Amino acid sequence: MSTENEGTAVPPAPSAPPVPVETPAASAQSAAPEGGAPTAQLPAVPPSAPGAPEQSYASMGAGAPEAHGHAPGASGAPVSAAEAGWPPPPPAVPSYADGGGSGAGGWGSSYEQPAPKPKNGRGGLVAAILVAALVAGGVGGGIGYSLAKNNDNSTDSTTVSAPSGSGDVKRASGTVANVAAKALPSTVTIEAESTSGSGGTGTGFVFDTQGHILTNNHVVADAVDGGKLTATFPNGKKYDAEVVGHAQGYDVAVIKLKNAPSDLKPLTLGDSDAVAVGDSTIAIGAPFGLSNTVTTGIISAKNRPVASSDGSASSKASYMSALQTDASINPGNSGGPLLDAQGSVIGINSAIQSSSSGGLGGTSQSGSIGLGFAIPINQAKHVAQQLIKTGKPVYPVIGASVSLEDGTGGAKITEQGASGSAAVTSGGPADKAGLKPGDVITKLDDQVIDSGPTLIGEIWTHQPGDVVKLTYTRDGKTHTAEVTLGQRDGDS
């Protein structure tokens, strides 16, 4: 399934996975070539950066979720992930929750510097709402005055007022108010601006006492090459920050505060593997720029295959086996924490599914329809630690190119790899396990695989060196093979 990273729409993804939404500022995806279906490269060891189309969740968008979209080559021949420089994105998927990649904010309100006030759109909508509120208030006041005037002598009032000086209201641990009160001071609103002045708003949270903040890659993408990055706490204190490392494929990034305060309180990290469908969730972020917003919901599903992207032609897709939640998530929530009822982080809000081509106040950003997707914290934690240690992500691979087309009944190994290379890398993990072009992988351990993007997301929940069991079909017969995952360093 594909979704939007809170802003960009993408082509539909496999039956199981959701998809991302496009960002307002994001450019339209390149049109897919006529002819062969795009293919995604699961890099060999070491593989070249894949580069096929990807699904994107509209950090949560409309229709099928959206994905970071890569289009096949102009020749019309199938393009593998390696050819595209990354595992290609499937059809329209969810978009990033912040709605943007370059030129748009990650999971947030995108903007350009200088930002003129809109004549219509969100500003106009807000103005209309305020006017309506004032008018309603005036009418209510008039009616109230009239009723009071006609009942000056009434003595049958039954209202009861709380005694003054009764002290602060105490809220039990585990209540949403208590969890929010403890978590909000450790969340930040991130503003990323490129050297050209474009950028956007997203969210992040304190990862450790050294000043590291965990967020989404697409939230900080604009500031990676010499741009400006700031993080603002709920108490109004604002800090300049720098990108320590970012992982496009995982959609995870770590930034560090400059002159970080000594009293930082990292949020407690939970166990995303222990989460159950129906568990309560609390999301914190800056939807449409409204910092420190708290919303609630439940875990709607686990292991949801998602390919997300900002929808721009230059964007690469991110793949995840996501936690799905119905907590309200909108552009600007990207990178924010998804908490459990105890206040522990179980995921990073990253993408949304949207059903609208228009967003709040008629803008191009789409809003929440109750289908949000978060990167499981167990995976994000490992990626963050790797980024802090080396500055670069590490990806597990099987050394084979798979089709990103839906309807293949699984992840089909293509007949040809990127740029005419072999679809199965000689001496790679898949080759050693006996897999060949044309084989259709239908399971990874006990997880059903219904498409190439689903396989990629599931492989990336593991570590290089892990041994997994692949179930595949060849000539109508089912086979199994144990594969020791290889390794690729970096995003390209």
Contact 331, 109 (CB under 8 A): yes
Using the CB atoms, write b or e for 182-219: b if 16+ within 10 Å.
ebbbbbbbbbbbbeeebbbbbbbbbbbeebbbbbbbbb
DSSP conformational letter for 19: -
Residue 435: partners with Cβ closer than 8 Å, 6 or more residues away: 398, 400, 413, 424, 441, 470, 472, 481, 483
SS3 8: strand
Q: Is 318 a catalytic residue?
A: no
SS3 178: helix
Tokens of 294: 């708290």
Q: Cα–Cα–Cα angle for 52, 55, 59, nearest 5°? A: 140
Query: Can you say how many angstroms the Cα of residue 384 is from the centroid of all Cα atoms in its chain?
Result: 15
What whole-number distance in Å separates Cα of residue 240 and Cα of residue 235? Answer: 16
Contact 460, 320 (CB under 8 A): yes
Residue 91: partners with Cβ closer than 8 Å, 6 or more residues away: 2, 10, 11, 12, 13, 19, 53, 55, 64, 406
Q: Is 251 a catalytic residue?
A: yes
Q: Which of 27, 80, 109, 251 is catalytic?
A: 251
Q: Where are the beta strands (DSSP E) in 66-211?
A: 95-96, 110-112, 187-193, 198-206
Q: Which of 110, 334, 403, 451 is catalytic?
A: 334
Q: Is 479 a catalytic residue?
A: no
Residue 244: partners with Cβ closer than 8 Å, 6 or more residues away: 212, 254, 255, 256, 387, 388, 391
Q: Which of 218, 246, 309, 431 is catalytic?
A: 218
What whole-number distance in Å separates Cα of residue 247 and Cα of residue 491? Answer: 7
DSSP element (H, E) containing 219: helix 217-220
- Active-site positions? 218, 251, 334
